[in-house]
């Protein structure tokens, strides 16, 4: 699951693979589509893996989430 393993690096500021952060000109560039399609069981496995990775994290309230967003925007 390359996309999942790239997420922590992306959150630390590294670009995602496959040029996800490059500018897209819709008149020239083809749309970015997944290279493969997931079956329902593969998609469920990804969701389960994400839940397992996040199981140790405490739940956040909506206000806590909004405060983190405000703080990140203030640092820009």
Distance of CA 49 to the CA centre of its chain: 14
CA distance 59 to 67: 14
pLDDT at 74: 93
Query: What tokens were used for 37?
Result: 């399609």
How does pLDDT run across 11-68, given as a tens digit for each residue?
Answer: 666 655 555 555 556 566 566 666 677 788 888 999 999 999 999 988 889 999 999 9
- Asked whether residue 73 carries a pLDDT value surpassing 70, the answer given is yes
Degrees to nearest 5, angle at CA 47 with 8 and 56: 60
User: Which sequence spans correspond to the domains of the chain?
Assistant: 2-75
Element (H or E) spanning 74, and its range? helix 62-75
């Amino acid at each position: 699951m390359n996309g999942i393993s790239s997420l922590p690096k992306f959150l630390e500021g590294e670009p995602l693979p496959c040029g996800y952060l490059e500018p897209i000109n819709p008149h020239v560039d083809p749309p970015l589509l997944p290279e493969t399609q997931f079956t329902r069981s593969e998609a469920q496995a990804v969701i389960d893996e994400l839940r397992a990775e996040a199981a140790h994290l405490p739940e956040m309230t909506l206000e806590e989430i909004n405060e983190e967003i405000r703080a990140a925007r203030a640092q820009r």
